[in-house]
Amino acid sequence: MSTNIKELIPSIVNKVSSSIVAIVTAGAVVDEWLNVIPIRGFGTGFAVDKHYVATASHVVSQLGEVTVVTSDGDLLETELVGADPEVDTAVLRVDGELNPIKLGDSDKIMVGEPVIAIGYPLGLMNQPTATFGIVSALGRTIRTGEIMLEGLIQTDAAINPGNSGGPLVNLDGEVVGINTAIIAGAQNIGFAIPINLARLSINELISKGVVEKPRIGIYGIDINRILARQYRLPVDRGVLVVSVQPYSPADEAGLRRGDVITSIDDVELSSIVRLKTYLYSRYVEGKREFKLRVMRGRKTMTVNVSL
């Protein structure tokens, strides 16, 4: 990796731009007077295969026509393969060949690491734009409508309307996240889905068209040293259970709010994303029984969860 940022950033943007596409959607909504109102939306995607584009599910959530526009200005016929709203990920199949971008390892990113958000904000259709910043935080949880998005990457790289679905790229030119949300009224706060989590959905959508998703039935947040001290938790790594869904496998197994999950099948946990990716990968292999090590206060116990 070059140490000359002035030369490095433009070379990365130039290298990956051909893999990044604009997404234009056309649909309609019905107002309170039952009038049909046409609407258009804009977003961004990136090629994960010669014929497949990954984006955010909310970019293509409106029923209607979806068009992909390449950096060269070509309009490609597009088919929605499938979407996973709970991870805000979707896959499109295009009639044409694209240049796939390399996917990185989001488990290796660190707070303070430089990143580039690339996309087509506000429906601008020339070349993709780039904004530069750092990873501000990891393991964030936000609610968007009825969906709770967990384990997000927070960045101060500017993410504007239309950037959604585009890649968050590291200085190796690898995708480490999918840009997903901004907070209205906040400055320099944007969020991205970690690519290790999104990749599982992308692969399932390409191979099956749907995502068969294992559920424990908890919402959780990552534990760090500050959080552990603030809430007097017995450990400074793991997943803090903030809620348990009624009648879920976690509920039936006896998990409670305030429990700390420190490992699954003896694999140490440092984040909710690590828990989810382990569940997804092993579930695809046919595994249905999982062993959790849980701390409740100062007591350590083993909880068996059946999915």
* Active site members: 58, 88, 164
3-state SS record for the chain:
CCCCHHHHHHHHHHHHHHHEEEEEEEEEEECCCCCEEEEEEEEEEEECCCCEEEECHHHHCCCCEEEEECCCCCEEEEEEEEEECCCCEEEEEECCCCCCCCECCHHHCCCCCEEEEEECHHHCCCCCEEEEEEEEEEEEEEEECCEEEEEEEEECCCCCCCCCCCEEECCCCCEEEEEEEECCCCCCCEEEEEHHHHHHHHHHHHHHCCCCCCCCCEEEEECCHHHHHHCCCCCCCCEEEEEECCCCHHHHHCCCCCCEEEEECCEECCCHHHHHHHHHHHHHCCCCEEEEEEEECCEEEEEEEEC
What is the separation, in whole angstroms, between the first and last Cα of the chain? 44
| Distance in angstroms (rounded) separating the CA atoms of residues 254 and 243 | 12
